Structure 1
Amino acid sequence: MDTLPRQPTPSPPLSGDPLPVVQWLTRAIWGLISLGFVSLFIVLLEIWRPETNKTFYFVFLVVFNVVGIAGVYWGLTRARRYAQQEVILREAFNNLIIPQVITDAEGRSVIANRAFRGWIDVQDGLAEKALAARFSENPTAQAEFQQLVSMARRGQMAVSELPVLRGGKIVEWRRIILRQLQGWPDMLHWRLEDVSERRRMERAMREEQAKLVDFMAHAPVGIYSVDQHGRFRFVNHTLAHWLGTTPDDLVNSNVKLHDIITNIPKSLPPYALAAGAGGDVQAEVILRRQDGKPLPVVITQTIATQDEGRTLRTRSIVRDMSPEKEWKAALTQSEKRFQRLFAQAPIGVALVDGHLNVIECNQSLLTLLQRAPETLLQLPLIELIRDDEREKAEKQLHNVLAGNDLIRPIEIHPLTGQEQTLLLYAKRFDAMTASMNDHQPDIQHGLVIYFIDTSEQKRLEAQFSQSQKMQAIGQLAGGIAHDFNNLLTAMIGFCDLLLQRHKPTDPSFADIMQIKQNGNRAANLVRQLLAFSRQQTLQ
């Protein structure tokens, strides 16, 4: 915090602080007066000196002089000691670290210590005027300053803390203690303590306290405290809002803890939550709202005794379980939906970890692979695949684990003892699990693998391919049969012409008939080929 600049001024001369000097001079003068009386008495005795008994006169004179001189010495010594004491007191007053000043009836400085002279510059010795000017920027402080002076003039001790402003901003705070000097009603003793740091600390403490109160009042959990009779001593706004009321209504009314808890045994102490619960306790109870609706909560409570165990207070934290119950219900429904989708899926589904070990699978996959759950879980997926396909499949699955997408499904043949063909579709997933460091949970990588049985499809494809081949053969045979049919038609026609030219008795007649018969047999084969190409019934 800024403070006003300190401008040290030289100590005033001794004449500026007349009190100890006057007292010392007063005692010295009285010593001289005593010495004068002694001398005067000696002179008078000399004048009226008796003629007789001179010895007695001489002795009396000597004794009287000795007593007088001793008295003067004692007085001067005592005056010197008093003067030393006052000088010491003055020096001690001057060295006080708290600014202090004594003013007379006109407000002039009678004596001021070094701290005061360093804190404020006094013109013409008018200390009271300089002090009034120091607090003049704040009208409220100025009025209170005048009230302090008025109270002190009336003989009352006045105490107040006033701000010192510079440029409209508070640069420091001073605690003024003002009172009359005992035996000197016109003299005022000013004590001006610097309380700026204390005020700053008090303000910081008030701000922190306000933050703490606000935190407790509006914390995301309910907070309350009850005494041994179950009466509420403190309720925060959160709990009161949950109950549909206000903290003041709960604290200032006759409502007790058990009045808002449903189904609690009457035999329990008014502050208890469960039977036999002493000290720390956590209980799940149902609170009754203002509108009569139930409020499920979990209360964590500790008990603190006071006044040597005669009284007690609870420190209780209330957690609303309604959202949690809703979350649990929603999570249960979500799990049920997932189980329906996962367990009852018509295709095989498996979850594998980063080492490709099976951690979960559905019934469809067990049926597909003809395995029991205990023989499949924690088993490396690669061991389910034919040896010649393992390396390629493992490489592709690890590529998906690395974050790459699968370009095409993986075709495998499982070791089931049957001729099966499966297509594998894989997708990476990331799952967070609890760890020793809650701020950085472990992330586990794995794969979701879908198994689709394509065995029947493969058989259909083979049959379709075979039928296509047969169709091609039929088309080829039909084309050849057409060509052969044309050739045979011409050949048989020419044989008929030759038979008309040759008589049965002709030696060539038998050869021509043999050619015609072979041509007819070939024509019959051509008709069968044409029937095959047209998918007709062969005869």
Structure 2
Amino acid sequence: MLKEFRNLVVWAMVTTVLVAGGSLSLLLWAEASLVFGVLFVVVAGCLIALLSRILLHYATLTERYSLMLDSANGLPQGMFVVNGQNKLVFKNKPYEIFFHENLVRNNIMHKFLDVTRRARIGSTAQEIIDLKGAKGDKLSYRLTATALNNHRGYIAFSVGDVSGMLDRATRDDMRGFLDKAPIGVFSINSGGDFLYINHVAAEWFSRPSAKKSNLFRVLDVADDRRAFFPPLESINPQKTYEHYFSVNKQFYRVFQRFIKMGDDYVTCSIVFKSKRNRQSINLEGQNFKSVFDDAPAGILLVDEKRNILAVNQRFSHMIQKHSSDLIGRNLDGFLNFSCKKTVLEALQKAFDKEPTQKPIEISFKGTKNDDLAAYISPLQEDDRVIGAIVHFLSTSEQKKMEIQFVHSQRMQAVGQLAGGVAHDFNNLLTAMIGFCDLLLQRHSPAEQSFSDIMQIKQNANRAAGLVRQLLAFSRQQSLQPKVINITDALSELSALLRRLLGPAIELKVKHARDLWFIKVDKGQFEQVVINLAVNARDAMENSGILKVTTANHTNKKIFAQNHDSMPPGEYVLIEIEDTGCGISMDIIDRIFEPFFSTKAVGSGTGLGLSTVYGIVKQTGGFIFVDSIVGKGTNFRIFLPRHVQKEQEETIVQEDRHLSDLTGTAHILLVEDEDAVRMFAARALKDKGYEVIEASNGLEAVQLAKKDNIEFDLIITDVVMPGMDGPQMINEIRQFMPTVKVVFISGYAEDSFRKKLNNEENIHFLPKPFNLKDLALKVKDILN
């Protein structure tokens, strides 16, 4: 309509201009005044006619626009139009009443713009928008946008309130869904009145019409109503309650939650049919008896006076009493005094519906099984406590594992302590032995000072032997494993063992045929056998027999003894058995601890068996001991079988006896212990080497970079503050990739090898070492 009016005005203006222009031309052309008068009248008449037509059309258009606007304002939906810049160009009154205020209050302009964008792409778009009303109520609007084809960029919108329609549809859909569900659904208040019940539940609870409106009236047992509604003050809305009830002799199982409504609660309940019946609740039911008797845990039932009602077979076996000796008697008479008070308190709590949260240690008179844990719960029937049910579990295995764990932790802690002490002592002994060697070079053997210095060195070497035993126990000594035949090793050792045992003790060695190979440090293996033989000799005193037996052994399942367990696998067994005095059970768990000894003061160091234990463990084996006081002791050592590869060869170290230990190489010496560094530097300088010293790893790296010297050899400690030896070597290898390295340490070589990715040109010299050991090692590597 507006477009038509606009076109008419444009046509009238053009016509007027043309007529006026024409008239003016004629006026100039015509000279007679008569002609001018006639033309003026004609032009004026045309203009009047044209204006009359325009006014007539304007009145018509105005009437039509007013009619359209009144119609738009009378619609229940809001209507509005936006142009290409999303500016409002038209709106009706419902738009202002319903939508504009909510649009601003709810800050949903982004949704409006999204619908506008979709309409411009697809000509029509629709969206349900949830808004919050002025009173906080929830409102839902359907917003429809349509692109106007004849007006490019313009979008017409309609907005309608659909809140009531959606709520009714949702409620109808939900009610229809619940009515068709194959389970019962209902809601009641605390008086039992139905607020809602679906078709299935209504059919299940069908009774005379006067009772249909209240659940409590149709219950077979009136007391079941207590299960539906406990005391209101104890209700937990976050908890799901479960219980059974019966209607018309049919049992049902119900799950329900509570919803607070005013001062009352209402239920949201889901109900299923159940096969349970009154007889099955009774303790005498056959199903209960079957489960009760076959249970893997011991079970005891007592009444409120603690009289024993029933016991199962497992419990009778646990306390080694027949059920006929227990049933009907009072539990108090069977309890040991040490646990009676705790058990009686727990039973009283069960009678008050408070089950125990933690197990209770319990023991009975006249039984050896003291490792029992009890869980006590109330025994109920029809929501009434009639006694207590006690479940018993044996904790023997658990306690055994706890003891094994504590023992292994203690041994590990002692081992770490021994290893740390041994490392520190090795540093001290290295300096003592080294400076003794330097002093011996200044004195001739004929001098008294030479003899004094030798005494110091010999005692230092004895101390080094003790340190090696500590390292053996802590499994941190340096081993040189080789593939050996245990039969040959024991045959070579037999002569030495006979001299150690003496003529009064007979040595019997029995070898099995086709023994498997093992991979061990031969010297350390011999040390194990010698230490056990010496202990056996001291236990047999004047006379006896020591048997050494070997055999192949396949362990098919985990074997546990003496706080240790051996996994399945193939092992070579070395059994050393004596006929001595034996070891009592109260100390047998401590015999492998360092410095533990039953010998007289001064008769031993207490490191013999701990050294055996450490060597066996570091080799990957296991050691177990059996002993009977007065009859003897049997040590069994299991070493893992070694399967030798075809290309594998036994490595034999060749003894090097070099007469000339001098040299001229450039050596970087890194050691944080000043005394060790001073001795090693002097010893190497005396042999002609050029030595640069560093007290830690970081200083060594800086010296290597700064001096720009190509070192022929680096001698370094392993454990140092800050940057340790392996880290330092990895750093220096970045710019000196071929430099040779000797690690000196009191710890085992394996402790640092893994940090170096098995690189070549890495050698090891264990502490303590003397001057000759150091010079020989350096000469050997450089050559």
Common topology (TM > 0.5): no
Higher helix share: 1
Q: Which TM-score applies when normalising by structure 2?
A: 0.25
| Structure with larger Rg | 1
